[in-house]
Amino acid sequence: MENVINNYKEDNESVYHTWFINNDDRLKAFRFIRKSLLKVIQEIESGSFGNDFKGSSLETVVSAISEQKQVFEGAAHAFFWKPKLRIPDIYENETNKQAFGRFLKACHKSSKSEQILKEINILDNLKIKGLGPAVANILYFLHPTLFPPFNTAIVKGFNTLFHEKKKLGSWSSYLEMREVIIETNNRYRHLFSKDLGAIAGLLFEIGNNRLVIEENAELVIEKEKQIKTKMKRHKAIQLDAKESQAHSEMQYLLAKLGQSLGYHVWIARNDHKRKWKDETIGDYSLETLTLPHFPSSVYDTVSLIDVLWLTADNQIVSGFEVEKSTSIYSGILRLNDLSITLNTENPIPLYLVAPEKREKEIQAQLLRPSFHQMTTSSIFYILFKDLRNDCAAMCKFGHDVSVLKKICKMV
């Protein structure tokens, strides 16, 4: 077993490195999903949740989970409303909807596995059509040390490694798997982590036949299939690296521009060590972000906004969220948190900065009715190419934040 774990950890393209260890977006997702789930609970309790997955607050939560690299790809499918089958039956059946809301609320509030296991049994006994242990992916982002994620590849990897025949759509199978996963994780804690995402990643890699062990060796003998799998992952890793570089480049350009306009600059606290070319972008940032009148919960969110411009007396002038592969909607929510907290008579301009290929997605998100009801500020967007091409000229000729009017767009 130790050899299997070491092979998994030594593969630089395994999800251990690309998702679990070296991924700042993973950490952001925990905060975002936990906070967004409160809106789902609130809407269910108030009767405003609606009768479809698309456009709902639940879509926001599950989409954020799906964006977590390879492990959670497809996590949203289980929640898609399939009208002909009436599954999952939490949209049109009010009783089931309320039960689902109570389950989410109890799991959100509790930090004890015994209480959450009790809630799972209550939910399972209701036999809500189409609502299976895919919900465990939400539980993972609420309690990563207590509940592992759950999908086809993880189940397949578990069955292969432990010679079991657990079923994908069964809560009892999930709970039996959980016991074995936790026991194995405790036994090899020195190689894994308290966070069950590490061992779930191992099972995921075995289930996808990327990690070859004796039990799945025959399945990966066909070289062509194995090469295709590795090439697909390699291309995905290359794309992630390219997007990460572009993210750092945009933060660097915004920091340079902000300083040239006479502002102090804050770079998201988890990005201070990022580099663009030979420069550490944290060198352009304030060492600490001082916002004395911000509630601690909002401060935590705002400190993760990619770039802030501030005056010498710590008044925020503008905020920027750089979006590459992450959720546009989550960036809007972070900017909106900032806007609501500032609550000034003259709202500050806020910006999404994104590649050209995501322009239509930005336009669609900014036109969502739920966004119009929520926002208190105007949110503009800037394309990578425009910031890249015009940054030097704005540094030279700009006087204040209004110089961005030359390149920003608004829906």
Domain ranges across the chain: 2-220, 244-406
Residue 342: count other Cβ atoms within 10 Å of its Cβ: 20
| Amino acid present at 38 | L
- The band of 141, judged by pLDDT with boundaries at 50, 70 and 90, is very high
Q: Specify burial of residue 224 (Cβ count, 10 A radius: 0-12, 13-18, 19+).
A: exposed
Residue 87 reports pLDDT greater than 70: yes
Percentage helix, strand, coil for the chain under 3-state DSSP, each rounded to 5: 60, 10, 35
Residue 377 reports pLDDT greater than 70: no
Residue 398: count other Cβ atoms within 10 Å of its Cβ: 18
313: tokens are: 């007396």
Tell me: the pLDDT tens digits for 156-215? 999 999 999 999 889 999 999 999 999 999 999 999 999 999 999 999 999 988 888 877
Tell me: the pLDDT tens digits for 288-343? 999 888 888 788 888 989 999 999 998 999 999 998 656 677 788 888 888 888 76
- The band of 224, judged by pLDDT with boundaries at 50, 70 and 90, is low
Tell me: the pLDDT tens digits for 236-265? 666 666 777 889 999 999 999 999 999 999
Residue 228 reports pLDDT greater than 80: no
- The per-residue DSSP string of 198-214 comes to HHHHHHHHHHTTSS--G
Q: What is the pLDDT at residue 237?
A: 64
- The band of 80, judged by pLDDT with boundaries at 50, 70 and 90, is very high
**CA–CA distance, 195 with 338 (Å, rounded to integer):** 30
The residue that leads in pLDDT, 230 or 264, is 264
Q: What is the dihedral of CA 68, 147, 199, 135, to 10 degrees?
A: -40
Residues above pLDDT 70, as percent of the chain? 90
| Pair 246, 276: CB distance under 8 Å | no
**CA–CA distance, 351 with 411 (Å, rounded to integer):** 12
306: tokens are: 């990619």
The residue that leads in pLDDT, 327 or 73, is 73
| Pair 304, 269: CB distance under 8 Å | yes
- The band of 363, judged by pLDDT with boundaries at 50, 70 and 90, is confident
Tell me the residue ranges of DSSP E strands in 260-376. Answer: 264-267, 275-276, 279-280, 307-310, 316-322, 350-354
Tell me: the pLDDT tens digits for 385-410? 999 999 999 999 999 999 999 999 98
